[in-house]
Structures are given as C-alpha cells and as structure tokens.
Structure 1
C-alpha cells in the first residue's frame, strides 16, 4: 500500500450513516477503501446506516456498522476498539458528529449548553485522542466543524462556540501526531442542504442562507451541497496529506477568515 492513497485502507466515519457522513462513506468505498466502518448515534438512523453499508459493499469494500453515543471518553474508546476488532487499525478517521442549536444566549439553559459541549467539543477531543493512539502511521484524521467559525452573527453561540475548540485540538494533534506521518485537519462547510440544517432555521433564515454565499446562484440549492464538500474530504485524507493543522472553510464564499 502507498502512504497517501485511499485504496486498501481502513476507514472509520463517526456519524457515517447519512447526510455528509454517509456520502463520504460511499465515496471512499468507491475510491478503493478496503473497509469502511460507519458509526451512528441512535435508532432513528439505523435504517440509513444499513442502506449506506449496502452501498459500501456494492462498491467492493467491507462495511461495518457501529452504534453509540460518543459523548463519553469510554464510548469513543469502545468505538475504536470495536473497529480494530472487526477490520483492523484504521488508516483514516473522520468525525462528522455535531449538533446545532440556534437560540439567543439569554435563553440557553445550562443543560442545553452542556449537551452542545458534549456533542460538539468533547466528542471531537476524545475522537482525536483515540485516533492518535490507534491510527496506523501515515494516517489521516478530519473533523467536521462549521463555517460559522468565520462569521460575526447572533444566535449560534452554543453551536459555533462549542465547535471552535476543535480548531485548537486540530493544531495540537497535528503537532503531536506529525512525527508518525499523521495529518490532522478540520473542515467547516457552509449551511448544507440536509436534514441537519432545516429544523434549526425558520423560513426567513433559510431564504437568507440560500442567497448569502458568493456562489449561491451556481448551487443547485443556494446552500452548500454535500456533493461539493466530499471531494475536499477525499483530497485531505489522501493526496492532500501535506495540509495539516488547518481548518478549511468550504462554503462558496459564505464566510471567510
């Protein structure tokens, strides 16, 4: 196996059952991955996980489905242990887990804040920790964040604020894991045309987001289409390995830093 190819590699995708995670899983299988382990959180995504696994196997890769709430260190440790037991040490680890909350700061409860921190920040930290312990040398790690990290906007304090630490986790992990040839990146898509986006937004906000990017008029939805994000993920976990410690906003000119 060559160092910086997807062919014959073992891939783990947290949140890999549907939406962007599911499309990444299908794409990397089509690129020749040997095995793709897809994690999902709750029973609501079980059917989509099975559909994605079937697509992976049709592409010629082995599919493994793993379920769990990753908001504890023990759960993330178990996820990596289960992947290793099933298909061996991963070469590529991608974390797409996230939760959005759009709400004024004055209305956010402590319970909501704690949940957002656990899903968006704590999960990312321990995913990176376990990736650093268990990935093969010359591995690749990528975490999904948000283009709101480059925005000056109200109402997303608990969402963007709990994704923001991942930028530093990424830099630190890149420095710490680099001696083993492991590259570490974060990708911040713009508002995406998925089921993750719409429940948090009212009609006026959806209309705004569909026109906010510089290239909105050239997108089929006006939003960031997941098909436009996947090629960047593919590049970062293969030939783009020299990019490390970076947070890259992929959003058609929605925000910049």
Structure 2
C-alpha cells in the first residue's frame, strides 16, 4: 500500500438564493474536504445547511471558507478591513457554519480563507493575525488551510492553530511559488488532463511547473480544486482517478 496520502478539497456552496454556481452534490462524490462558503462572498443559510447535510452523509470533512464581506465581488476584490473587525467577522462566519454542521451530525473541521483574503494573508502579517485570532476564538483547535511559507502559516502557528499546507491544481503559479493573478493569461487551468498531471506531480514529487516554465517545489497535504472553474466536476473526477492510479491514497488530512 502506498505511503503517499493527499487530501482533495474544493470550494463549495458558492451560490446565493436562486443563483447557483457550484455543482455541490457531484463534487461531494469526489472530494474529501468541502470548503463551505459562509455567507460573506457566497452561500446563504439554506445552501450552507444543504451542503453540510450532503457532506455529512458522504463522510466528507466540512471546512469554513471565510472571506471579506463582498457578495457583489465574490470575495475577489481587495479590501482594507481593520484587524479587530476582520477577526470578529471570521469568528461570525465560522460560528454560522458550526450550527449547520452540528445539525447535520458533523463538525467544522478546519478553516480556509477565500479569494482576496487568501491572497492577502500570503504576505500580510496583520491580516493573517486577524484571521488566526478570529479562528482561535471560534475554536482553538481548528486547522487553517494555507499556502506553504505564508504569513497565514506563521500566524496560525503563533497562536497554536495547526497550519495545513495546500497547493492548487487548477491555478497557475509564479516562479516564487505564489498564485498567478486571475487576470494573467493561463492563470486558470481548465484542461482535465493537465490538471490531473499537476495533481500527481504535486502529490508524488512536491513540484509544479510555473507559468514561466520554472519548476517550483511545493510540499502540501491538501490539493484544491475550485468549484467555480469551468468543468469543475470532470476536473475533480479525472484528478482523483489519476492520483489513485499513481498509487496516491486520497483521504482527508489528519
């Protein structure tokens, strides 16, 4: 049996009212961890409840995907939020999801920042500290999914939260190991075979090819797929199949 184990997470519950963006049911049949939108960039109470119910039924781990308060911009616009206010908003989002997870017979098992907030806490120690503080107030045992070597990783560990490194299989990297801005040509990868190959290389070898052709070393315990990427379900299916064919065991991170 292989000793390589990798988690496969996806951003889910990203709808609002009649607006539906992600095929949550189909994705939950493939991934091992679900990053559930908590209402600030997407996800209304009914969607949050429904996704928690489906995740619990399938044994998929539930995570709180926290964001800047930006429904109109899907959480992908840069915002300046005071640290104490951001910390409270993080706690609020986690708490709202905890209720629905508990009602489904499950728990919120981790936290992951979304969009502009995720990118901000790669290098901004103050904003990362606020995310860590808000997470710790909600539950001092919650792991935080983050980019390896990021400010978020540092601040999570500083307050005693487990930091779980992740990599992205459907997003391009720069030579420095950060995500290429979405406006950059080729930043979002939609070819299923290319995504699957990247997933295997990341899981087995800890490396990925950057946009400029450079080889970047990234050791991660979880691989992310975006639920709103075109063809996300097929990407997820081919990614999981390729990982398993390569001898990688796909299961939620410890």
Q: TM-score normalised to the size of structure 2?
A: 0.38
Higher helix share: 1
The one of the two structures with greater contact order (alpha-carbon pairs below 8 A, sep at least 6) is: 2
